Structures are given as C-alpha cells and as structure tokens.
Amino acid sequence: MPSQAFPAWPDSIPAARRYVSEAMDQLPAGTGQTAALLISELATNAVRHGGHEFVVDVHTFPDEGRLWIGVTDSDTGLPVLRTPAVTAEHGRGLQLVSTLADSWGARRRKNTAEKTVWFELRYAPLDLPG
C-alpha cells in the first residue's frame, strides 16, 4: 500500500495533498476533495507539533468503497477536538476531520515515540473491470 515520508515543514502540506490525490485517482470526485482537505489538516498538525518528519499511508479498498489514510509523526501528544467560537482564529482542523470523515481516531504505539492520526471515508463501490 502506498506510503511516503515528508519533512515536517509547511511545503509538505500541499505535497501531501498531491500525493494523496495521485494515490487515489480512481475515486469519486467528492471523496477525493474531502480526502485532500482532511490530509491537509492532519499534515498541518504534524508540521506544527510533530518533530522532523511525518509519514502518510493511503489504503484504498475499491470493492468495499473504503479509503483509509493515516499520518504518523513522532509527537506522542494526542490531538484535541475543540469547538471554537466564530471569532476564534484557530482550532478548526479536527472539527473538519470529525465532521467529514466517516470515522477517525488517533493511536499511540507502545514503546515508541510515534502516534498515528487516521480517518476513513466511504463511497459507493466502483464497478471495476475484470
């Protein structure tokens, strides 16, 4: 399954979006658009809090109509879901993830300094030739 490491600097955010878009060129347009937005949010969190690099994993299950994307970095602090006021300038990234993903979560790996934040999107299964 596709996986790629990115240096933890801001230019990696659009790069991660492009990577995800290319990894799932067969998905419905709306699903691709949502995936690009949510990977942007998780990559942004990794760049702002997560050490020197982050890894993006993309797993697609076209026959099930399921897409799983995870971002792993070396910051063990887990993300916090907030409900900002309309005048608040920050705190909306995970709000988008929690609203638009069919499921999402975060996990720490025992005895490592790593965490993965992931989301899953569902879509109508594709009719694949063959």
Residue 103 zone, left/alpha/beta (φ > 0; ψ -120 to 50; rest): beta
Q: Taking CB under 8 A as the rule, does residue 18 contact other proteins?
A: no
Site size for other proteins (CB under 8 A): 25
Contact stretch for other proteins (CB under 8 A) within 36-44, 64-72, 106-114, 121-129: 36-44
Pick from 25, 90, 111, 130: which binds other proteins (CB under 8 A)?
90
Q: How many CB atoms lie within 10 A of CB 102?
A: 12
> What is the spatial distance between Cα 5 and Cα 14, in angstroms, rounded to a whole number?
14
What is the maximum alpha-carbon separation in the chain? Answer: 52
Smallest gap, in angstroms, from Cβ of residue 41 to other proteins? 6
Return the ∠ at Cα 106 (arms to 53 and 32), rounded to 5°: 75
Q: Taking CB under 8 A as the rule, does residue 31 contact other proteins?
A: no
Query: Interface with other proteins by CB under 8 A: which residues?
Result: 10-14, 17, 33, 36-37, 40-41, 44, 47-48, 86-90, 92-93, 95-96, 99-100
